[in-house]
């Protein structure tokens, strides 16, 4: 009997070790080492119903609006709930996920994602969202709707992320940061800055998009997702105001000016449903009630579509004053201990790490876990 039991126990022990190893490797491989991951996963740590403003969209949002500055100078608690290159099709599910724990006074929806609204981009980019939200019906609905290639195989982490084995060291390092800091509230509240000044555009390089009157004709796929988003927004409680915007996105001649007709078409659809829309790119060229954004195209852009930190500071102040004027019912707060601490940590990080890198030719992104590496005493209570 002992001769039988011993080999069985040995096989069982080996199987347990192999299983544990596979679980560990699968978990480590699932880390994408991205700002999107930190932004979405840490969002769940925010106190419920503590956000007055939620901002949705793609990289223009996370590189343009600084929540800690909005709180420090204007009293708004806010969060950049966005994903790089996120197609418009995902917006409905992003809003649903974020509002499962928050009841903001105002939600701001950036429409630049219409330029990524095709099957290829939606299939490829939406995983940055669905991979980093909690299990639940919204995740199931998003997977079914956004990714036509969803199969049981690509829902198993070890299979889905097997290519990350070549970067396992980086994944383990990043995973260790998440294990260490992942239970904390965020400090940057989704903001990711591109501090380097690599875009040196002259005024003559920038197209005044207001001169383009062409309106694109949406194809069947684009029409489906535009209508679905607007239908969904009509179901949102009246206590939450909805503002559709186009985050400032300079049109560089012979580079990205093709986007303008799509923005014009999106504006037409939004206004037809009687939602408010404002093209914030307009204010790169003109003032709003005497208030100028003051963007310097030779200093405040990191590329043709994103602000660097200097530009983000200018835009955040401009947009907060726009909200003050147009949405006076958005609640303001002050003397919140956790937010005050976030402001302190973030400002120290910007001053000592981000801004000294502004003239460095090496392109870098600074986000939540980069801040965590900088601050030995990270986070707030």
Stated as kind and residue range, the H or E segment containing 43 is helix 35-43
pLDDT at position 41 is 87
pLDDT at position 239 is 92
pLDDT at position 379 is 44
Q: What top-level class would CATH report for the domain 51-374? A: alpha beta
The rounded distance, in Å, linking the Cα atoms of 318 and 293 is: 6
Closest to 242 (Cα-Cα) out of 306, 321, 326: 326
pLDDT (tens digit, 0 to 9) for every residue of the chain, 381 residues total? Answer: 556 766 777 777 777 876 676 666 666 556 666 788 889 988 999 999 999 999 999 999 999 999 999 999 999 999 999 998 888 999 999 999 999 999 999 999 999 988 887 777 777 778 888 888 998 999 989 888 887 555 555 555 555 665 566 566 666 666 666 666 555 678 899 999 877 666 667 767 777 777 778 888 999 999 999 999 999 999 999 899 999 999 998 777 766 778 888 999 999 999 999 999 999 988 888 877 778 899 888 888 887 778 989 999 999 999 999 999 999 999 999 999 999 999 998 998 888 878 776 555 555 677 777 777 666 544 443
Query: Residues 6 or more apart from 235 whose CB is under 8 A from it?
Result: none
Do 86 and 93 form a contact (C-beta atoms < 8 A)? no
Number of residues in the chain: 381
pLDDT at position 154 is 54
Extents of the domains making up the chain: 51-374
Do 69 and 347 form a contact (C-beta atoms < 8 A)? no
pLDDT at position 213 is 82
């Amino acid at each position: 009997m002992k001769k039988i039991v011993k080999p069985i126990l040995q096989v069982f022990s080996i199987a347990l070790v192999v299983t544990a190893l596979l679980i560990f490797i699968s978990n480590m491989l699932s880390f994408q080492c991205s700002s999107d991951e930190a932004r979405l996963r840490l969002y769940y740590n925010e106190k419920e119903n503590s956000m007055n403003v939620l901002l949705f969209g793609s990289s223009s949002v996370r590189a343009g609006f600084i929540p800690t500055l909005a709180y420090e100078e204007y009293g708004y608690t806010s969060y950049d709930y966005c994903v790089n290159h996120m197609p418009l099709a995902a917006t409905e599910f992003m809003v649903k996920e974020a509002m499962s724990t928050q009841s903001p006074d105002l939600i701001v929806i950036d429409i630049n994602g219409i330029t990524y609204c095709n099957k290829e981009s939606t299939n490829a980019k939406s995983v940055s969202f669905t991979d980093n939200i909690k299990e639940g019906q919204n995740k199931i609905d998003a997977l079914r709707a956004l990714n036509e290639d969803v199969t049981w195989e690509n829902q198993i982490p070890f299979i889905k992320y097997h290519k990350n084995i070549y970067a396992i060291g980086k994944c383990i390092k990043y995973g260790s940061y998440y294990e260490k800091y992942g239970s904390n509230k965020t400090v940057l509240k989704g903001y990711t800055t591109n501090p380097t000044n690599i875009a040196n555009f002259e005024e003559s390089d920038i197209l005044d998009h207001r001169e383009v009157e062409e309106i694109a004709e949406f194809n069947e796929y684009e029409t489906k997702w535009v209508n679905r988003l607007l239908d969904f927004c009509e179901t949102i409680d009246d206590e939450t105001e909805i503002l559709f915007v186009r985050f400032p996105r300079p049109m560089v001649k012979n580079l990205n000016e093709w986007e303008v007709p799509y923005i014009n078409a999106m504006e037409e659809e939004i206004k037809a449903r009687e939602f408010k829309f404002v093209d914030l790119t307009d204010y790169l060229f003109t003032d709003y009630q005497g208030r100028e954004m003051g963007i310097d195209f030779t200093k405040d852009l990191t590329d043709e579509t994103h602000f660097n930190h200097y530009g983000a500071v200018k835009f955040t102040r401009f947009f907060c004053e726009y909200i003050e004027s147009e949405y006076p019912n958005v609640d303001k707060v002050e003397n919140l201990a956790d937010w005050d601490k976030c402001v302190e940590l973030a400002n120290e990080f910007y001053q000592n790490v981000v801004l000294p890198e502004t003239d460095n030719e090496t392109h870098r992104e600074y986000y939540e876990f980069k801040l965590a590496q900088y601050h030995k005493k990270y986070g707030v209570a």
